[in-house]
Chains A and B, each alone.
Chain A
Amino acid sequence: MADLAATAEALIRGDRDTVVNLVKQALDEGVDAEKILDEGLVAGMDVVGQKFKNNEFYVPEVLIAARAMNASMELLEPALAKSGVKPAGVVVLGTVKGDLHDIGKNLVGMMLKGGGFRVVDAGIDVPPERFVQLAQDNGAQLIGLSALLTTTMTQMPNVVEAVKEAGLDVKVMIGGAPITQEYADEIGADGYAPDAASAVEMARGLIG
């Protein structure tokens, strides 16, 4: 019988094969795809996020969990589409212009996917107009900006401005080593996330 708690546990361990087998078994038994997603995969990734936030998990542990999640989503996505389940939201995510660092951005992307969001990865060294274009093209509700350097974080207000100028109803969330809540307030960003797990909570709050 499908065991979604065991699915979550295997995901937390990053045990890809077990997660995939348990998801497959649950689907075969006719368990609702959204239930598998919420109570198995998203529940597991929430724990991974919390452990990362508390320094119990580090980047490798998040990556193996995200890999298990991605492998299971390949099985789950057709069933989710069939039953008309929508993602929790669409987020365009990228590292700002002039900045090539992508580890933090990738972690946030994985955690957002783990939280049920559709993530459009804009990549690194992304100019403001590209963020705007991708948000428009994908019907995004949120843009996530990452910067590692004090020299590149100054690109963030340009994106906030570009979103305003384009008249988009899209929120902007920022993060990265030199970023603070004060800086987010100063540039008019809608949210600041100090780590990948908080980014998921913030995205849920902003998209509502």
Chain B
Amino acid sequence: MESALERIDFDAVKQRFDAYWRREVPGRPLIGITCPRDDAKPTDYPVPDTVEARWTDVGYQCDRARHQIENTAYFGEALPVFMPDIGPDSFSAFLGGELVFLDDQTSWVRPFVDDLGGYVPAFDPGGKWWRRICDLLDAVCEIAKGNFLVGIPDLHGGGDALAAVRHPDKLALDLYDEPAEVKRLMPALTRIYREVFEEYHRRASRVQDGSTTWIHVYSRGSFTALQNDFSGLISPAMFAEFFLPEVEDLAGWLDNSLYHLDGPTALGNLPWLLDVKELDGIQWVPGAGAKPMSEWTDVCAQVLEAGKCLHISCGAHEVECILSVLPHEGLFIRTHCSTEAEARRLLRSVEGRFARPPRP
């Protein structure tokens, strides 16, 4: 396949992300713009009949990866990335849960822990779902080498893993009924998270330097998205008491980290996160049905003014408005255009309006 990494001048993009992690502005603000290629072709590969096969069939996922990368145009700091994925509950599946696939967008693990006090999380490297994701990862790595980047698969550790194996309602009650047990389990889950991440990283590193994930940001070292969707259901005080230690631990352990802050109900946790020295930054996602990103610049400014990196996605029409009100140090905006011409125009406009000479 044609190398998308050569199309984007990957060495230059790497340097711009180096500047991002240093909270510097490399000439102009960082922006990643994707759009369909002008010569995009329709899908031409067979689609498996069953939902589970569409998630896990190695050949199909490789076809998807090739097609997606070959038919997307990348501008600015947009990265050609494909991330093998069997759903947000994959980590819980590695702990012994059975993954169920509802449709092409939704998979989940049936809760299987009835007795929290007796639960000892264990990662089985011989388990079915772990072998499946490793097969996918290896196969995608094979075709990715020199052509595109492989994303570290989506990892929902600690809080989300407990919520999946218990059920969110039960975990919410556990925080009152069995707080000591939750605190006992969290470090054990963090240890497994590290083990899983290390193996993902080791496999991806066979074909690429550095790392990226479903958040398309590049790091020359170890990087992934830290996340805890369950935290949107609980008070900031409970988040700090039960789940912040894991964020601190993993942020200190990874070379680079962004915390995925999902939706207005999680905003109360932001001050705690901004106080985590080791955490590089925040990815802010207002969530479905929320007002557009250009109306959240107060939240964005709070992150940037705290000296953290920020990653946001917005509509192409919002980019310049957002850039005109936010500091550019540590800011990375991703957007999507309908055509290559539109994407080029937007990039030229950003370069023209917001470029600054680099610091000596």
Q: Is B288 an interface residue (CB 8 A)?
A: yes
Interface size on B, residues (CB 8 A): 20
Asked if residues B102 and A125 are in contact (CB atoms below 8 Å), the reply is: yes
Report Cα–Cα, A151/B233, bound state, in Å.
22
**Contact among B106, B233, B238 for A100, CB-based, below 8 A:** B106
Report Cα–Cα, A59/B233, bound state, in Å.
5
**Contact among A55, A125, A148, A151 for B268, CB-based, below 8 A:** A55
Q: Is A67 an interface residue (CB 8 A)?
A: yes
**Contact among B105, B173, B263 for A60, CB-based, below 8 A:** B173
Q: Mark A76-110, 1 if CB is under 8 A from B, else 0.
A: 00000000000000000000001110110010000
Report Cα–Cα, A178/B287, bound state, in Å.
8
Q: Is A187 an interface residue (CB 8 A)?
A: no
- Residues in A whose Cβ lies below 8 Å from that of B238: 58, 60
Q: Is B168 an interface residue (CB 8 A)?
A: yes
Asked if residues A106 and B102 are in contact (CB atoms below 8 Å), the reply is: no
- Residues in B whose Cβ lies below 8 Å from that of A2: none
Q: Is A138 an interface residue (CB 8 A)?
A: no
Report Cα–Cα, A102/B170, bound state, in Å.
12
- Residues in B whose Cβ lies below 8 Å from that of A168: none
Asked if residues B263 and A177 are in contact (CB atoms below 8 Å), the reply is: yes
Query: Which residues of B does A touch, CB under 8 Å?
Result: 102-103, 105-106, 108, 168-169, 172-173, 175-176, 233-235, 238, 263, 268, 287-289
Can you give 13 A-B contacts (C-beta < 8 A)?
A58-B238, A59-B234, A60-B175, A60-B234, A60-B235, A98-B103, A100-B106, A148-B288, A150-B288, A177-B288, A177-B289, A178-B289, A180-B289
* Contacts A60-B176, A177-B287 known; 10 new A-B pairs at CB < 8 A: A59-B172, A59-B233, A60-B234, A63-B172, A100-B102, A100-B106, A106-B169, A125-B102, A150-B288, A177-B289
Query: Which residues of A does B touch, CB under 8 Å?
Result: 14, 55, 58-61, 63-64, 67, 98-100, 102-103, 106, 125, 148-151, 177-180
